[in-house]
Chain A
Amino acid sequence: MRKTLALAALLVALAGCSMQTRYTLSVDVLSFLGDVVEGNVPSGAFEVYLPDDDDGDLATPDPDGTLVEAGLGADRLEAIRLELTATIANTGTIPLDLSAEVYVGDAGTNDLYHGSGTQIGSASLTLAAGESGALTLLVELKPGDPGFDLVAAGSFRVGTKLQGFGDGFSFRLEELKLALTTKRLGELLRP
């Protein structure tokens, strides 16, 4: 990763740099996960935690999310953006009501969703029987927002809680991107 960033820095030098330029490092997290993130949730009331990277079995909850190490420091950043898109297919015979909440917590947290994590975004979706739809979560954090300093520091856990009621559904993660936007170059370099 360090050498990739060094190469990126080369390209930035060539892209021209003005003291007015802001840089955004946009990481396609999904492409680095390697495996397809998908699953099925059975009928009834549900509360599942994603990603489930301990055993991949949703029946045994994984409440510590996933560890992300990519940061530039709170004093260098101006904005943080997290984009998540998942396809949800209602495989049951009744409407599906679903809400999603994104939490972040410090690297040592073992349960993001019950007290020690911070909720930074949410979305909800209702699907008729047999219908498919896209669940889109867009989180934008500015300095001072809850969770900003933690994410900017660059070592944190992130996870999503899906909860609601239905007759079974399947999901598949389509996009997961983390984008860090720096302050203007002049502000970064000024001693």
Chain B
Amino acid sequence: MGGVLLPGIAGSGKNPAYAALGQPFGPGTFTLPLGALGLLFPDRSPLYYFLDPNTFYRSFDLASFLDQASAPETLLFNPAKSPEEVVIELSADGIRITDGAGNPLALGGGAGIPKRTGSLVPPALFRIPFGLGSGIAGSVGVFLGSDGIALEPNAALGRLLAGGGLEPNQTYALTARGSASGGLALDFAFARPLPLPGVPGILYLGARGQAFLGLLRLDARVTYRVTTDDQAQPATEATESRTFYVYPGQGIGYGGQVDLGLAYAEADWVVGLGVKNALGFATWQGTEEVRTDGGSTTAPKTETQFGFDPAIYLSGAGYVPLEEGGRLLLAADLGYDGAIFGHLGTEYPIGPSRVRAGIGYDRGLVLGTGAGFELGPLRLDLALTGRTSPWDGHLAFGLQAGIGF
């Protein structure tokens, strides 16, 4: 349904109160990381550089890689493509970059996998759940993944890309940064209904505490700067890199966060508010290496973050009866996870199957249409999605899949 957060157990990662709701809008499914399949294609996989260099040098496309890497749940059919031709026009007045037909290249403010708030560590690769009774559930898992990869021009370079000329005494900078971490996570979640006298519905409260032990971390940032002189001619250049790393035997990380949730349910509808990382603390003790054109320094460093750096999810769903019989499911969400997002979706049952459609905005337009099937004990959700790349505005279509038992 276009990525909308549906109240129910499957949405309890974003609102802990939803764990006590059951499945008011049908059983959910777990989304498969089909994007990882996409990263096996030679046009999007830097791995071929090691596996089959000939294929790499024939096929690799940086724009396709960045587009697919930023959509881990979607196998993209038509990822963004780099231009076939790039024309660099040099004149005494400056630089202009165009495609072969003389049009400025359509570029946005940055590329990569966005950093989202709400979680101190990447999502778990797998978890082993256990129950403790009294509405308390726990899980232990292993996490390993990226916390964000980006290629960011500064504002001046952005103007230059958009077709502006070189300005005097201006610094043009490009920053590439990436970070990844790995370790173990343990969480305890609690959710229970709280009947209120005189109110027809039920209020649900939920909370989750998560602790992690970090074993691996790499946080790298490289900035290249060119500064122009009074005559708007490039005069000086500088490169600076900063790398922070932790690996077993060389530092460690630990921390924890608290997520809170509320939901209110009546017979045919539910609304909820989830706040992830309402309070969080993380510390990493590692080594920092700074390199500039003048030399490099290496020193131990501790990076600590503490406080309120949340992701907020406001969501609701309900059944609307139709005149000709049957009922339509409508769902919507609105939230913030470093940027504001929102989705709207609908689902209609046809026999044992369901058809769905949705639209949303999450760092670009998101479209989706799909269907859910029941194949014996297995439930399968398939969706065709469209999403705009925040990088160049390219609309890429893809396939998402979820399974449930």
Contact = CB atoms under 8 A, between A and B. Distances in A.
Nearest to A27: B90
A34 B174 CA distance: 31
Contacts of B172: 7, 10
A131 B64 CA distance: 55
A11 interface: yes
Contacts of A54: none
Given A10-B172, A28-B91, A186-B57, A15 B226 contact: no
Interface of B: 43, 53-54, 56-64, 80-93, 95, 97, 100, 105, 107, 111, 151, 153, 157, 160-161, 172, 174, 224, 226, 233-237, 392
A18 B61 contact: yes
A9 to B, nearest CB: 9
Given A6-B237, A10-B224, A11-B160, A18 B62 contact: yes
A76 to B, nearest CB: 14
A32 B233 CA distance: 12
A15 B105 contact: yes
Contacts of B91: 27-28, 31-32
B57 A19 contact: yes
A19 B61 contact: yes
B284 to A, nearest CB: 30
A144 interface: no
A59 interface: no
Contact of A3 (B63, B87, B100, B235): B235
The 4 closest A-B pairs by CB, nearest first: A16-B82, A28-B91, A16-B63, A18-B61
Interface in A1-30: 3-4, 6-8, 10-28
Given A11-B88, A11-B160, A15-B86, 11 more contacts: A3-B226, A3-B233, A8-B88, A8-B90, A11-B157, A15-B107, A16-B80, A18-B62, A21-B83, A24-B88, A34-B92
Nearest to A8: B88
A4 to B, nearest CB: 5
A19 B60 contact: yes
Contacts of B234: 3-4, 6-7
Contacts of A179: 87
A114 interface: no
A3 B239 CA distance: 13
A186 B48 CA distance: 13
Contacts of B111: 14
A3 B235 CA distance: 7
B63 A25 contact: no
A32 B92 contact: yes
Contacts of A20: 59, 61, 82, 84
B332 to A, nearest CB: 35
Contact of A189 (B57, B153, B161, B174): B57
Nearest to B56: A19
26 contacts: A3-B234, A3-B236, A4-B90, A10-B157, A10-B224, A11-B97, A11-B157, A11-B160, A13-B174, A14-B153, A14-B157, A14-B161, A16-B81, A17-B61, A17-B62, A17-B86, A19-B60, A21-B82, A21-B83, A23-B86, A24-B85, A26-B89, A186-B60, A187-B57, A189-B57, A190-B57
